[in-house]
Amino acid sequence: MRVLGIDPGLRRLGWGIIDAEGSRLRHVANGVCESEGGDDLATRLLALHRQLTEVLTRFVPQIAAVEQTFVNKDAVGTLKLGQARGVALLVPAQFGLPVGEYAPNKVKKTVVGVGHADKRQIDHMVKMQLPGVQIAGPDAADALAIAICHAHHVGPQQARIRA
């Protein structure tokens, strides 16, 4: 089962792809889709859409998962993040993929063992579970953690359905 994990962001949208065979996980690829801060919102969202579409076309995942948005004190920032998250949900849906959604604490609990892990702990545990992986940055590490979380929660039954 090929799993795509997405860590939504307007400036940097992380993505990570793993293959899961039972409890065995293998890194396929990871990276970051970026948009320019000086561009208008529509142009930024379009850039993310195009880049993420290229990822799905190239690596052909079978299922996807996206981290849920948390609400913070900055309403404008939260709204922009929500719009980037819309792209993260839309692109896999355009490819006909089922898309899971996970709260950040659920991802951390699954991958690290505690729901309030920091970025260094996530990076470390992703590297432990995917030996030899070269991670393209914190956003890509989070995306790989989301993919790992989804692989553990969806399991082999979903792979049989999508095959």
**Catalytic positions:** 7, 67, 139
> To which residue do tokens 């939504």 refer?
8
Question: What is d(CA 31, CA 131) in angstroms, rounded to the nearest whole number?
Answer: 17
**139 in a known ligand binding site:** yes
**39 in a known ligand binding site:** no
Angle of the 75-94 helix axis to the 41-59 helix axis, nearest 10: 30
Question: What is d(CA 97, CA 22) in angstroms, rounded to the nearest whole number?
Answer: 20
Question: What is d(CA 155, CA 153) in angstroms, rounded to the nearest whole number?
Answer: 6
**7 in a known ligand binding site:** yes
* Phi, psi for residue 121 in degrees, rounded to 5: -65, -40
- Annotated binding-site members for Mg(2+): 7, 67, 139
